[in-house]
Amino acid sequence: MLSTVSLAVLAQLKQFTLDDLIPGGTTYSSLQPTSLNVTWWGNQLLKPEEKVCSLRNKKGEWQTLFTLEELHAAMEQAGWKTSLIRSLTSARFDQSEEPVACFRSAKYVLLYNWKDRKIIGGQQFDTAVTDADYQWSQQRLAYNSSENLFIANIGSTNNVLQVSRNGSHDLVYGQSVHRNEFGITKGTYWSPDGSLLCFYRMDQSMVPDYPLIDISTRIATVAPTKYPMAGEASHRVSVGVFNVNTQQTVWLQTGDNLDQYFTGITWSPDSRKIFLYQLNRDQNHLRLWQFDATTGAREQQLYEEKHEKYVEPEGGVNFLPWDADKLIYKSEKDGFNHLYLYSIKEGRTLKQLTDQRVGVVLQLLGFNKATRSLIISATGTEALRHNLFRVPIDKGEPKLLGAAEGVHNARLSADGSMLIDTWSSPSVPRQVDLIHTANGCVETLHQSDNPWKEYDVPSITSGTIKAADGTTDLYYRLIKPTHFDPNKKYPAVIYVYGGPHARLVLGSWNYMARGWELYMAQLGYVVFVLDNRGSDERGRDFENVTFRQLGTEEMRDQMKGVDFLRSLPYVDANRLGVHGWSYGGFMTTNLMLTHNDVFKCGVAGGPVIDWSYYEVMYGERYMDTPQSNPEGYRNNNLTLRAADLKGRLLIIFGYNDPVCVPQHTLSFIRACETAGTHPDLLTYPGAEHNMVGKDRVHLHEHITRYFEDHLKPLTSK
């Protein structure tokens, strides 16, 4: 029994609202851990705030570099409207020592020299542009407008070059291709000297238009998106190189580009060569090619990798800054993502640079030239962490940089001698450290107070259970209800994702607990989250165990989580619910159908229902094609099991979702109607795959109401 003093303390603690906990909520930002907005200007640390941009001097003091008032004065003198820029927080800085700040939006780009207090270049656009890619040394901006590629010279000439002229809905220039798979996040790549622009051209004329609907017009109109479904025709990609001086384009001689993926575009340091990965449509044969940037000729194959299931390149190669003959590539060929050193002259891999001493490599952040070492982020020796390491190229042991606990995100200075480490741990809301990479010395720049110290926060713990294979450890997060009473029986909700490229449980603040989970605990629910096999950062075999049978092994692992929940004396095994979004929506629906005697209630958001309706690049990597794997597609086609629905299932989707297109949800609803089962449905017209802003708060209000109505009551309605 709680003491009178304890009850008095609890009574004084605040209760969360969804506006407090959900992005888009009116009070959400004020209840997040505070941070420090800092960035690098070469090797100088800057702090751009709303009205002042400061520089950290050698004494560790912040001194004013320039002010918003000074910028506005320069803008007025140059004829720019000061209302375009109301804060300095968006300023970007070159990694050289030029005293220039760049301000960009979809409508303009502006260059300000704070030493001279002058606007030294700028460009305003009649209509909003996309895919902007700024090249600092030559002050050039590549961008896309009306599916065509342009280059604006931002300096004194202020002219615009049109790289392509036949762009259309079917033919797109300078944008990300292959539906942002394979680490592709953009469509243009400047050469180091700024004279050449490598870019993607995507011919998607052979890909059918998927008919999304725009209801904002007086009479609803079709707003089609190109969507290549698994086993169907895919787009064709070419790679061009535009010479700014000659205004001519050459095309890389990649050969037949039918059913081929091109990724990892990288320039040689001397701007003369281009390197890229070529992956076949089956995604089991990878080749690294070298091209002549002037002629487009394919010169040599550097590296090749095959695997019986799939090879998945993520990002390009990196050249050693002190040896242009040597490059570093990433591979999972030993079962885990690691870095390898390659010599172009010798035409071979020289050695493996990282191993299990650093865990799974997440990212190569850069190099410290003085110590001839690379700086990486990796999982370390404990699977819940993201750590930082210095790894020597020649010989020596990897060195941990910064705290061992927690999840770390770093930005490296120009010469690699320092990094900014923004991190948190289960008990540390947020901390920002300055780390010297040579000796590991740490200076703390910012520590956030706990923004929830006045709130009644439930118990949040983490642990492991065994996977369905009986040997693999799986990590979970468990949140108990506030004012927890071990003698009571509580309803429990499993939140699930379960798919590749994601983890829900990490050793960051509160073990990555989502705001909605805390809200449900406040209402009296146990909330449980488990990262099953098939999820990210645990190695190749951990992920690809799901190959050709998405949903099967993942559900087996999730049911081990159910067994764990049932073993807890305070969990009511008759009141179990499940909720997830996207891949988690697929898992939620699958669990409700396959284990319909276990789950009383579920909410599936933006679900995949039939993998044959999903896109080529992602879907075929894990499932192959419907033609080559009909059994796998049939086994996980949830419309075929619509008659198995027993509990209450709510499906929610964005009506204009270009990722999990509405056909998934609508086909399942139709199948249920035919089978005589009764799911519930909610849609957000005009929304895409995820709800944002106020819609996101409304979404979680509705999800909560559904569980309150159909899971929490002790007796069924």
d(CA 523, CA 150): 54
Question: Token match 């997040």: residue?
Answer: 32
Query: CA nearest 191: which of 241, 127, 258?
Result: 241
Query: CA nearest 249: which of 188, 299, 290, 199?
Result: 199
Angle, helices 552-567 vs 583-594, to 10°: value is 70
d(CA 184, CA 254): 18
Torsion over CA: 203, 204, 205, 207 (sign): positive
Q: What is the DSSP track for 177-221?
A: -GGG-TT---SEEE-TTSSEEEEEEEE-TTSPEE--EETTSSS-E
Joined tokens for residue 410: 């770093």
For 41, 59, 416, 511, the CA distances from 446, given in Å and listed in that order, are: 19, 16, 21, 21
Pairing of strands 490-495, 473-479: unpaired
> What does the H/E/C string look like for 571-613?
EEEEEEEEEEECHHHHHHHHHHHHCCCCCCEEEEECCCCCHHH
CB atoms within 10 A of CB 584: 25
d(CA 555, CA 468): 9
Give yes or no for a contact between 48 and 56, defined as CB atoms under 8 angstroms apart.
no
d(CA 247, CA 265): 21
Name residues whose C-beta falls within 8 Å of residue 105's C-beta, 6 or more positions apart in sequence.
84
Query: Could you give the 3-state DSSP secondary structure of residue 649?
Result: strand
Give yes or no for a contact between 599 and 591, defined as CB atoms under 8 angstroms apart.
yes
Residues tagged active-site: 582, 657, 689
The pair phi, psi for residue 185, each rounded to 5°, is: -125, -5
**Positions of E strands within 165-317:** 171-173, 188-190, 196-203, 209-210, 213-214, 221-222, 225-226, 236-243, 248-251, 260-267, 273-280, 285-292, 298-306
End-to-end CA separation in angstroms for the chain: 33
Category of 36 on φ-ψ map: left (φ > 0), alpha (ψ -120 to 50) or beta: beta
